[in-house]
Amino acid sequence: MAPRVLISDKLSPAAVQIFKDRGLDVDFQPDLGKDKDKLAEIIGNYDGLAIRSATKVTEKIIARADRLKVIGRAGIGVDNVDIPAATAKGIIVMNTPFGNAITTAEHAIAMMFACARQIPAADLSTQAGKWEKSKFMGVEITAKTLGLIGCGNIGTIVADRAMGLRMKVVAYDPFLSKERARDLGVEKVELDELLRRADFITLHTPLTEKTRNILSEEAIASTKKGVYIINCARGGLVDEAALRAALDSGQVAGAAFDVFVEEPAKENVLFGAPNLVCTPHLGAATQEAQENVALQVAEQISDYLMHGGVTNALNMPSISAEEAPKLTPYVKLAEQLGSFAGQLTESAIKGVRIEYEGSVAELNTKALTAAALTGVLTPLLQSVNMVSAPTLARERDINVEEVRRPQQGAYGTYIRLTISTERQQRSVAGTIFADQSPRIIQVKGIDMEASLGAHMLYITNEDKPGFIGKFGTLLGEAGINIATFALGRNEPGGDAIALLEVDGEVPEGTLEKLKALPLVKHVRPLRF
């Protein structure tokens, strides 16, 4: 049966046709986004959901979405989607960040000009028959400093246009590297320095808990007197009441807003403020942009549902449709290796080194590294996904290193993950067998072969006679069945490792008895 896609907002006929041409079953209900109860009632019948901004994909909707595999937003902002809830349910959330980037950037530049030269007020006055030439004294933007809060896709375009207008551009963005800033020709600064230096401030960042009210009352008070503030990104990035007070006092010389905390903005504390320019969320409102994002979301959802390709996902690295079938088993292996090492790590992680050898080194290792970091960090942080894992690692000053090289050993493909802590290093390696199943082939430098099940026991012990018998007897007396038993040692009589799959959770009391056995050094339950 063909995958079913629900389109719950207005999308162009060409986009609907893309779904049909790709062999998907399409249900086009462009006004359904306004009826959340109806949406909740029928969402369980679909594999894909294509939306704009009207549809609110809440936790309640997602809870009913038993078949849903992908949500595609025709546009950039996804604050109308509960991404954590979607991620927890294994639903990929995509947006189309490039389709309306130019349009939104152009609108920000236009709003900056309109604000700097008071064009809307001057137009209204002139068309009313007044000729108030001296009233509308503007400022030039040439040689002024533009402060970008957020330097992603749209911010980068704004920076390029601003430099073409002979402005100096400074940018605050925690994810902007110094090398990337240098390539763009912008100066990377901290937020307090941007506020102090900028003549114009424009925002181009998503709305998150960290960015909400990033221009707070305190931040606005620390700006250069006479600053101009432009927001064509998201309502809620600026404290609207604080901005109104700053406009009234002259601390802020002008503001141009396309977005508001509450939309539609029928009433707002900003309305009526001096030198305020407002538009009704027109950032992406050009014919070109609307068509582009509609076509893009249709292509992306179709690629994923028909071929497994992931493009512009917010909770998973991108994977092309061609490489998806090859990559899937390696993603599972990388996450299992990370989870194995992460569950055995008890002190602060300083570094993660991932070595790709053989044919796997030629694949999309970015996705594999994200999967490995997800495995490493999940036991420590719980709520981690393939998109958030690299960011969480950076925030915790965990150095992540990738090494890729041709085949050197017996295995045609080989992944080894090493965790460095304050006290030690721990490594685990694995491969993919011919049946596409992942296998552990080395732990702490000791060769062994094991598959990972839901419930595992990891044991380190002295390699002396009698250990296996005592261990097995104790588990048998506790009523715990052993599904698989893998062994390895560094040398006869030396250090040994046992990795067991068991048919259920091992009670704490049994674990304590296992730890007390002679020759046993360490016992740790693992879950996969």
Catalytic residues: 234, 263, 281
Q: What does DSSP assign to residue 323? A: T
Q: CA-to-CA distance for 31 and 33, rounded, in angstroms?
A: 5
Q: CA-to-CA distance for 521 and 444, rounded, in angstroms?
A: 15
Order of strands across the sheet that contains 349-358: 399-405, 349-358, 413-421, 425-432, 438-443, 446-450
ω before 325 within 30° of 0 (cis)?
A: no
Q: CA-to-CA distance for 125 and 39, rounded, in angstroms?
A: 47
200 phi and psi angles, rounded to 5 deg:
-130, 140
Pairing of strands 413-421, 70-73: unpaired
Question: Burial code of 35-69, b = ≥16 C-beta within 10 A, e = fewer?
Answer: eeeebbeebeebbbbbbbbebbbeebbbeebeebb
Question: Burial code of 339-356, b = ≥16 C-beta within 10 A, e = fewer?
Answer: bbbbbbbeeebeebbbbb
| Residue among 9, 18, 4, 17 at smallest CA distance from 65 | 4
What SS3 string covers 32-58?
Answer: HHHCHHHHHHHHHHCCEEEECCCCCEC
